[in-house]
Structure 1
Amino acid sequence: MIRSFRLARHVILAACASLAATMAVAAEPLKPYKDDLFAYPGIIETRDEGAYRIVDYREMRDINGRDEVPERRAQAKYVSLGVRRQEQTLALDGIGHVAVGRTEGARFITVYLHGQGGSRKQGVDDFTFGGNFNRIKNLMAANEGLYLSPDFPDFGAAGAAAVARLIAYYANKSPQASVFIACGSAGGALCHRLANDPQVVGRLGGLLLLGSLWDDGYVRSAAFKAKVPLFIGQGSRDKVFPVERMEAFYQSVRKAAPGYPIRLVRFESGTHGTPIRMTDWRETLNWMLAAR
């Protein structure tokens, strides 16, 4: 009798644990997609209740061990090319861009803004950066979302205005969608300009700075006042934008507003392009959605 009770109790507890795990996954807006391949390889250190993390990055493992041709072509297991069927090259008021997924009625919209010397093609290249752009394309397509990779005239006022028009156009077609803007390298100048545009900020679900730059005026921006979640990914050996400066920016935001939804992931030994390759899109966007 006792043995039967214990067995029944074990079965019930196991079933409850399984149900809880299933509910936890279901509660996350973006469903898993190759999480085992794109999860951070290891956490060296965590601070600020998880807001600051140092990730174990190793070039031999995370580039040479992941790419068929280092920095040029990811191994086949990291990419799923069926998403190309949902990819369109379009233009809006002269703004060339690539759209992947739902151009109307999207649940989420992610916009990637390239850095100096890049183009709309960078953000949809399936094989560079370890297949991480292919992952965000698939995440948006599989979750009834839209991914946009545009060209823009410059990294100043004209560029910000062009991106703002693009966001407004697609956001109006998907009024319930949260909009995430990810800025690589010099593209961060546009992220900071858009953070001061109330019309854009009203749509924002989050900003991502990937190997990018700081803005000391961010704490006075419309995005800061609206508590728009902010993610910073930075390589510890970035020679373009020093990690120490980005860490100081992170601390300044936390000091100005304790509890502000901000995260910093430092890729130890990573260089300028490491955050574009290594940032976990799904974890970051789900955190932003939960933080809003």
Structure 2
Amino acid sequence: MLPVLAAFISFPALAQTLAPYKDDLFAYPAILSSEGEAYRVVDYREMRDINERDQVPERRVQGKYVSTGVRKVQQDLVLKTDAGDIRHVAVGKTEGASVIVLYLHGQGGSRKQGVDDFTFGGNFNRIKNLMAANGGLYLSPDFSDFGDKGVSEVSALIDHYAAQSPAARIVVACGSMGGQLCWGLARDAKAARQLSGLMLLGSLWDDGFLKSPAFAAKVPVFFGQGSKDPVFPIDKQEAFFRSILAKKAGYPARFVRFETGTHGTPIRMIDWRETLNWMLAAR
């Protein structure tokens, strides 16, 4: 049995800090500038961070970035709910998890994107291994749309697994248009009470968040954005991030700007462990 699976079995049920997993490979490159921990500009370079990292650029990362033994605790499931049947992939402990992380894909994606071991520089494999090794659960679902129906489906999925793991912290990461669902959950009073963090990765903004139950509850929010994102302009996302801090002093929000990065860069480059540890400590 691989070490990561042994750790999955033995790790304490209520872990407050995620143990390391290939931190040296997934740590951010040089920090070009910062405003404390709240805002950082990361030195992203396509030649280094894609071409030198991937065996086949954007299709298959080098083997040292992944550990596929985690597939032994990966299941493709269907949950029947009042909101409909929800197909999803679950990795780790479906009961008694210490932390639950959901990844919500963007336009044209599916539940398979969030569990692909080799794309996006192996970063999905990292979050799978982090959850398995730390007694957690990682979920990557399908959903009908990015509107109310999609929000109701994701909420039903959260409800189910929260009941199975009542002590778990719950963090939702949203890629691109998936951010619509993050903001929808923030507006839902019940969902907001369940959240320990929202992560927006190459995603959009929502001024309504400033009046949401999640904002009132000071749910931590992380933004990762490429400076050359052609879909969601970084200037608007940065302005929204700063509006959060201006509205409520000391609000737990962080922004990482990947200099020269484009739309998919944050999904490839986010340091899952650093971000989740910050969120878990903030709640």
TM-score (norm 1): 0.90
Among candidates 32, 39, 46, match of residue 27 of structure 2: 39
Look up the equivalent residue of 2:166 and give its one-letter code: P
Among candidates 136, 140, 145, match of residue 149 of structure 1: 140
Look up the equivalent residue of 1:117 and give its one-letter code: G
The alpha-carbon deviation at position 28 of structure 1 amounts to: 5.9
CA RMSD of aligned residues (A): 0.8
The alpha-carbon deviation at position 200 of structure 1 amounts to: 1.2
Aligned counterparts, 1:173-192, within 5 A: 173-192=164-183
The alpha-carbon deviation at position 278 of structure 1 amounts to: 0.1
- Take 1:63 and 1:146, find their aligned partners in 2: how far apart are those partners? 28
Higher RCO (CA < 8 A, seq sep 6+): 2
Q: Is 1:272 aligned to residue 263 of structure 2?
A: yes
User: Which whole-Å deviations, capped at 9, do the CAs of 1:267-287 have from their partners, x for residues lacking one?
Assistant: 000000000000000000000
**Other-structure match for 2:96:** 105
Look up the equivalent residue of 1:100 and give its one-letter code: V
Look up the equivalent residue of 1:69 and give its one-letter code: V
**Other-structure match for 2:232:** 241
- Take 2:65 and 2:236, find their aligned partners in 1: how far apart are those partners? 32
Aligned counterparts, 1:18-97, within 5 A: 29-47=17-35, 49-93=36-80, 94-97=85-88
Look up the equivalent residue of 1:219 and give its one-letter code: L
Look up the equivalent residue of 2:122 and give its one-letter code: G
- Take 2:188 and 2:165, find their aligned partners in 1: how far apart are those partners? 19
The alpha-carbon deviation at position 29 of structure 1 amounts to: 1.0
Structure 1 gaps, min length 5: 1-26
Look up the equivalent residue of 1:169 and give its one-letter code: H
**Other-structure match for 2:214:** 223
The alpha-carbon deviation at position 201 of structure 1 amounts to: 1.3
- Take 2:71 and 2:264, find their aligned partners in 1: how far apart are those partners? 24
Among candidates 101, 121, 133, match of residue 124 of structure 2: 133
SS at 2:29 equivalent: coil
**Other-structure match for 2:11:** none
- Take 1:105 and 1:290, find their aligned partners in 2: how far apart are those partners? 20
SS at 1:207 equivalent: strand
- Take 2:178 and 2:218, find their aligned partners in 1: how far apart are those partners? 21
Structure 2 gaps, min length 5: 1-14
- Take 1:204 and 1:42, find their aligned partners in 2: how far apart are those partners? 31
- Take 1:163 and 1:290, find their aligned partners in 2: how far apart are those partners? 25
**Other-structure match for 1:7:** none
- Take 2:51 and 2:215, find their aligned partners in 1: how far apart are those partners? 39
Look up the equivalent residue of 1:88 and give its one-letter code: Q
**Other-structure match for 1:11:** none
Look up the equivalent residue of 1:45 and give its one-letter code: S
- Take 1:201 and 1:85, find their aligned partners in 2: how far apart are those partners? 32
- Take 2:195 and 2:96, find their aligned partners in 1: how far apart are those partners? 16
Look up the equivalent residue of 1:91 and give its one-letter code: V
Alignment size in residue pairs: 265
- Take 2:46 and 2:64, find their aligned partners in 1: how far apart are those partners? 19
Q: Is 1:253 aligned to residue 240 of structure 2?
A: no
